[in-house]
């Protein structure tokens, strides 16, 4: 089984949540290659140094300085988006033709499918969230995304099947004409056809994190890490502070919002008592580590060191994209989420998680020393995922379907 995995390049979260999927593909004997862009190539070289990388087209999303709604961006920039998607689809077809992939696995790449390969699309955002002022357009967004998903053989949702899960209404959308399957159930018999053009089967594969326990098989495969096996104080062997941080700030996202967040937190944490760490989320840059007053900075951290820093911190501050939420849940972190202005998916996630008592939500325009100190009084915790075997079964079922398809062609 030969598979090409292609995560979207809107931030690093799509790449990180592909890690457990890639592990499981490898554990079940597949040959895996990666379609990467500059922004995520370094991360994948670190986690899967032995896997071949192929350069993929990028979406090149840049947010305006003062932020806006992501769904509105899709509408306003539809011409650009359609051009990228056409190029992306030609690229996917060419990759299959040249290299003979049996499966194309797309994490939110809207047009990364081929009629000559079994195509899987993964997204937690079956509903593209709109702010209240634009809620009348939400149906357009849902129909647009559903039309994109129809080009794939099946859709994977990285969440638990039972609502609200971790993504709430973003992933648990009653979709007319789509067959919903979940857990470890075999969905092969539930549809007459999984072929391109019909409504694809939708399968919940459980929350996905690079910090999940090792996948199937007795031995570990590349990129595996069980955060719960890391001993306390594991950072002492590395270059970071041997002690425990009061705040670990995880910087992520696309520009210019990423740098705005970094600069704002730098100013605030200087005046917050305690020792803090800022992880700048720049895996493509050379690793650098330095200290300014009570704040340590590092351009990026290897997976193990990142896990230890986050797990042992009193609090973690981050943007709160969905991949970050899943990572923090696996690591047992106490989280303060500061959604990217205008990125309404993050606004909805942070709001719903705060309402459930899972995390603290601070809107970006209210982020200050005072709001941070007030947040420290909160007693919050993300529930630990309990989904053993769900991804393993999904991959087994996928390989069975693809194997049957290959046998019929022969």
Q: What's the pLDDT score for residue 175?
A: 46
Minimal CA–CA distance to 301: which of 292, 310, 293?
310
CATH fold label, 227-375: Rossmann fold (3.40.50)
Higher pLDDT, 39 or 359: 359
Q: What's the pLDDT score for residue 149?
A: 95
Q: What's the pLDDT score for residue 184?
A: 36
CATH architecture of 2-224+386-409: 3-Layer(aba) Sandwich (3.40)
CATH 3.40.50.2000 positions along the chain are: 227-375
Higher pLDDT, 179 or 285: 285
Residue 234 burial by CB count (10 A; 0-12/13-18/19+): exposed, middle or buried? Answer: middle
* pTM (2 d.p.): 0.81
Does the structure show a pLDDT above 70 at 105?
yes
pLDDT digits (tens, 9 = 90+) for 286-301: 888 999 999 999 998 8
pLDDT digits (tens, 9 = 90+) for 304-326: 899 999 999 999 999 988 999 99
Does the structure show a pLDDT above 80 at 185?
no
* pLDDT (mean) for 258-265: 94
Identify the band that residue 85 occupies on the pLDDT scale cut at 50, 70 and 90.
Answer: very high
Q: Which residues of 2-28 are buried (b: 16+ CB within 10 A; e: fewer)?
A: ebbbbbbbbbbbbbbbbbbbbbbbbbb
Q: Please state, as a whole number, how many other Cβ atoms lie within 10 Å of the Cβ of residue 314.
A: 14
Q: What's the pLDDT score for residue 322?
A: 93
pLDDT digits (tens, 9 = 90+) for 376-392: 999 999 998 887 799 99
- Of the ranges 72-86, 361-375, 388-402, which one carries the lowest mean pLDDT score? 72-86
Q: What's the pLDDT score for residue 376?
A: 97
Handedness of CA 293, 296, 368, 315 (dihedral sign): negative
Higher pLDDT, 94 or 42: 94
Give me the chain's average pLDDT, please.
Answer: 83
Identify the band that residue 162 occupies on the pLDDT scale cut at 50, 70 and 90.
Answer: confident
- Of the ranges 12-16, 111-115, 221-225, which one carries the lowest mean pLDDT score? 221-225
* pLDDT (mean) for 191-211: 71
């Amino acid at each position: 089984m030969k598979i090409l995995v292609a995560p979207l390049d809107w931030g690093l979260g799509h790449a990180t949540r592909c890690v457990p999927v890639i592990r499981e593909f490898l554990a079940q004997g597949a040959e895996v290659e990666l379609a990467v862009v500059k922004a995520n190539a370094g991360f994948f070289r670190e986690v899967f140094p032995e896997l071949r990388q192929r350069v993929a087209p990028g979406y090149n999303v840049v947010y305006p300085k003062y932020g806006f709604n992501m769904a509105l961006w899709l509408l306003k920039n539809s011409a650009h988006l359609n051009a990228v998607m056409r190029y992306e689809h030609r690229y996917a077809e060419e990759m299959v033709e040249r290299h003979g992939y049996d499966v194309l696995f797309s994490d939110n790449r809207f047009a990364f499918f081929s009629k000559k390969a079994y195509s899987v699309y993964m997204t937690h955002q079956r509903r593209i969230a709109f702010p209240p002022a634009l809620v009348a357009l939400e149906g357009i967004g849902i129909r647009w995304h559903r039309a994109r998903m129809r080009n794939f053989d099946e859709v994977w949702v990285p969440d638990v099947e039972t609502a609200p899960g971790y993504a709430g209404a973003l992933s648990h959308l009653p979709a007319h004409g789509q067959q919903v399957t979940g857990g470890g159930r075999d969905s092969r018999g539930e549809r007459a056809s999984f072929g391109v053009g019909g409504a694809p089967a939708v399968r919940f594969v459980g929350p996905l994190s690079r910090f999940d326990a090792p996948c199937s098989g007795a031995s570990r495969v590349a990129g595996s890490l069980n955060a719960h096996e890391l001993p306390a104080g594991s950072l002492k062997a590395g270059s970071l502070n041997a002690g425990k941080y009061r705040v670990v700030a995880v910087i992520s996202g696309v520009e210019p919002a990423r740098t705005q967040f970094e600069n704002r937190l730098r100013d605030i944490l200087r005046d917050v008592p305690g020792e803090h760490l800022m992880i700048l989320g720049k895996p493509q840059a050379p690793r650098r580590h330095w200290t300014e007053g009570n704040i340590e900075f590092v351009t990026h951290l290897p997976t193990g060191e990142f896990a230890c820093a986050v797990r042992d911190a009193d609090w973690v501050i981050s943007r709160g994209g969905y991949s970050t939420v899943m990572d923090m849940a696996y690591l047992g972190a106490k989280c303060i989420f500061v959604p990217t202005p205008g990125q309404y998916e993050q606004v909805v996630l942070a709001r719903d998680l705060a309402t459930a008592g899972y995390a603290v939500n601070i809107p970006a325009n209210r982020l200050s020393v005072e709001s941070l100190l007030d947040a420290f009084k909160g007693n919050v915790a993300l529930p630990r995922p309990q989904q053993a075997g769900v991804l393993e079964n999904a991959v087994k079922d996928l390989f069975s379907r693809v194997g049957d398809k290959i046998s019929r062609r022969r």
